[in-house]
Amino acid sequence: MSDVLDRLATILEARKGASEDSSYVASLHAKGLNKILEKVGEEATETILAAKDAEVSGDCADLVYETADLWFHSLVMLSHLGETHEAVLLELARRFDMSGLEEKASRQNN
């Protein structure tokens, strides 16, 4: 499961050179950053609405589906700008490590 982002990133990279008629990702790149950002915004809104519905129904299936759409379009945005998910994972890891150090320092001070 953990290699899904790596595998998807490889496909997204390959789609940069693909024909826009044969590939949704290539069509987004061809339409440009504004179209990609429009999709990220739409998917973020759909994710928020699905989260509100999930709170009422207790069913998170639509929320998971919409979050996957949001992550996917965010990955296309990063790829369009020459960045990858790895930079985001590194940033999360850096924060995780920092919070670990803070916890340790706080334990030592008490």
Binding site for ligand PRT (CB under 6 A): 8, 11, 15, 23-26, 42, 69, 72
* Number of residues that this document lists for the chain: 110
Q: Are 81 and 40 in contact (CB under 8 A)?
A: no
Q: Tell me the closest approach of the beta carbon of residue 59 to ligand PRT, in angstroms.
A: 19
Comparing CB distances to ligand PRT, the nearer of 42 and 59 is: 42
Comparing CB distances to ligand PRT, the nearer of 42 and 102 is: 42
Q: Tell me the closest approach of the beta carbon of residue 8 to ligand PRT, in angstroms.
A: 6
Q: Tell me the closest approach of the beta carbon of residue 103 to ligand PRT, in angstroms.
A: 36
In angstroms, the CA 67 to CA 44 distance is 8
Comparing CB distances to ligand PRT, the nearer of 23 and 74 is: 23
Q: Tell me the closest approach of the beta carbon of residue 66 to ligand PRT, in angstroms.
A: 9
